[in-house]
Homo-oligomer: A and B are copies of this chain.
Amino acid sequence: MNKTIASLREAVAPIGDGATVMIGGFGGSGAPIELIHALIDAGPKNLTVINNNAGNGRVGLAALIEQGMVEKLICSFPRSADPKVFTDLYLAGKIELEIVPQGTLAERIRAGGAGIPAFYTPTSYGTELADGKPVAEFDGRPYVQERWLKADFALIKAELGDTLGNLTYRMAARNFNPLMAMAAAETVAQVSGIVPPGGIDPEHVITPGIFVNGVVEVPDPKQEEILNREGAVYP
């Protein structure tokens, strides 16, 4: 059993037209830039993408959107320092947007991974984001019913991975990555280093390998924030 994938190209090859793809990260931290760029190279169309944001600048998720590959975006906060790519397409009516409160987005993804088809949350009660959703009262307080979110694929970024798919993360780059790993039928993690089984202390594993289908090594991953400060454009 060895979940190592030899190249970024092979890692994204199964992602076809119309797929739903969760992409980890919060802004640039934890964003799997190299996997996203490999996905741009592969070029599937009409993707539904789930991410907290809508990209920044002209690399990573913003570049994926700029290439016209994203039909629908599910996110909590499509604003950033430079959200021009998304903004232009959105205002032109060329990309569909589903806004989900950030905690609800996280919980819906976890629910997808945990086999919980629906749950109740106080979040968004009485707001337009609850329009059309069932409401129920528990202990005298109103709650909104939310559904799980699942995906065909998750592209995530981790720090260390072993060949069984166990993962650690680096600081706040953890964010949505462990949740998305749980909620996708097929999860691929780009990691800064691959170690043999036992190379990660069982106490320190954040994502157990059962949630991960493949790991691909990207020894010196790029940071979206730094690429944008350099004015990088992909492809």
The answer to whether A226 has its CB under 8 Å from any CB of chain B is no
Contact: A107 with B117, CB < 8 Å? no
The answer to whether A129 has its CB under 8 Å from any CB of chain B is no
Number of copies: 2
With contacts A168-B203, A203-B168, A204-B204 known, is A107 near B118, CB below 8 A? no
Across the interface, A171 reaches (CB within 8 A) one of B119, B122, B136, B203, namely B203
Contact: A115 with B119, CB < 8 Å? no
Q: Compute how far the CA of A164 lies from the CA of B38 in the bound complex, rounded to whole angstroms.
A: 43
The answer to whether A114 has its CB under 8 Å from any CB of chain B is yes
Q: Compute how far the CA of A141 lies from the CA of B119 in the bound complex, rounded to whole angstroms.
A: 15
Interface residues of A in 170-205 (CB under 8 A from B): 170-171, 202-204
Across the interface, A119 reaches (CB within 8 A) one of B120, B122, B168, B204, namely B120
Which B residues are in CB contact (< 8 Å) with A116? 107, 119-121
**Whole-angstrom distance between the Cβ of A119 and the nearest chain B Cβ:** 4
